[in-house]
């Protein structure tokens, strides 16, 4: 595979040899007709995104009043778009390849088990636990990268092309565009938030202690002054 970068995006070029998948046979006579026994196949490629590129697909938001709440909740929105014309660069639109040959789309989204599913563009087809032992090596792009030790959930959405029931062969139309939207919430507690809560609690304790001491001294002084006034009036009345 070769990647060609331009000002309007990147183009992935695959050699034709990758698409020539045929059935192996031990018979020399059948080897000559192996091109007639082509097997279906697919290409799986992975792209490692940086911090800025990840924001195109996923964005996190924190509530403005989270500093006064006992639970720090953040909301993550995943927005995946395929062949949205307004999002495609001009060089891709000029190729007139939008939706060419795409009959079915399967969208998988892996989330931490402590992320709460809120809503999505459509009901997911299925959801199951991810086998960490089987997927740990696959999900790590480099040997040093390891999958998080916590358990994961994998959500599956699928969208088939519309079938023309009136056509003789009930042909399936191509999918021109696809959009997947999902919203999750997660409670996160960082060391920064923990320190802020501790400082906030200490500040409240110090202020409440100072106010309590001030009120106590005020009541004490007011009570002592009232007692002195009563004694003074009693002495004046006794002298008369």
The predicted pLDDT at position 146 comes to: 56
Closest CA to 76 of 43, 111, 49, 44: 111
Closest CA to 151 of 109, 120, 123, 110: 110
Inter-CA distances, 95 with 41, 100, 108, 176, 234, Å: 24, 11, 28, 14, 107
Closest CA to 112 of 153, 146, 73, 149: 153
Whether residue 170 sits in one domain with residue 106: yes
Whether residue 98 sits in one domain with residue 36: no
Whether residue 157 sits in one domain with residue 198: no
Whether residue 183 sits in one domain with residue 213: no
Whether residue 182 sits in one domain with residue 69: yes
pLDDT band at 26 (very low <50, low <70, confident <90, very high): low
CA dihedral sign of residues 117, 119, 120, 125: positive
Whether residue 135 sits in one domain with residue 212: no
- Is beta strand 126-129 parallel, antiparallel or unpaired with respect to 152-160? antiparallel
- Whether the Cβ atoms of residue 121 and residue 160 lie closer than 8 Å to each other: no
120 is in which domain, residue-wise?
49-188
Q: Which residue has the tokens 């996923």?
A: 58
Whether residue 60 sits in one domain with residue 118: yes
Q: Is the pLDDT of residue 223 over 60?
A: yes
Model pTM score: 0.62
Residue 160 is given by DSSP the state: E
What's the longest Cα–Cα distance across the chain?
141
Q: Is the pLDDT of residue 99 over 80?
A: no
- Looking at residues 88-98, what average pLDDT do you find? 64
Number of domains making up the chain? 3
The predicted pLDDT at position 15 comes to: 77
Whether residue 90 sits in one domain with residue 64: yes
């Amino acid at each position: 595979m070769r990647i060609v970068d331009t000002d309007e995006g990147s183009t992935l070029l695959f050699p034709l040899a990758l698409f020539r998948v045929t059935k192996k046979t031990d018979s020399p006579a059948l080897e000559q007709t192996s091109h007639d026994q082509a097997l279906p196949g697919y290409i799986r490629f992975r792209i490692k995104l940086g911090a800025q590129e990840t924001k195109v697909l996923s964005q996190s938001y924190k509530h403005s009043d989270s500093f006064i709440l006992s639970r720090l909740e953040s909301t993550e929105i995943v927005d995946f778009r395929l062949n949205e014309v307004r999002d495609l660069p001009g060089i891709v639109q000029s190729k007139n390849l939008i939706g060419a040959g795409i009959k079915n789309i399967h969208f998988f989204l892996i989330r931490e088990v402590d992320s709460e599913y809120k809503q999505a563009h459509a009901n997911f087809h299925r959801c199951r636990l991810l086998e960490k032992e089987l997927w740990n090596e696959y999900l790590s792009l480099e040997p040093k990268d390891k999958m998080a030790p916590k358990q994961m959930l994998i959500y599956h959405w699928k969208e088939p092309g519309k079938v023309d029931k009136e056509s003789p062969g009930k042909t399936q139309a191509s999918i021109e565009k696809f959009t997947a939207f999902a919203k999750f919430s997660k409670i996160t507690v960082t060391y920064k938030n923990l320190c802020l809560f501790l400082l906030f609690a200490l500040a409240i304790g110090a202020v409440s202690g100072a106010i309590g001491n001030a009120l106590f001294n005020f009541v004490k002084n007011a009570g002592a002054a009232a007692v002195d006034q009563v004694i003074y009036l009693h002495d004046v009345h006794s002298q008369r």
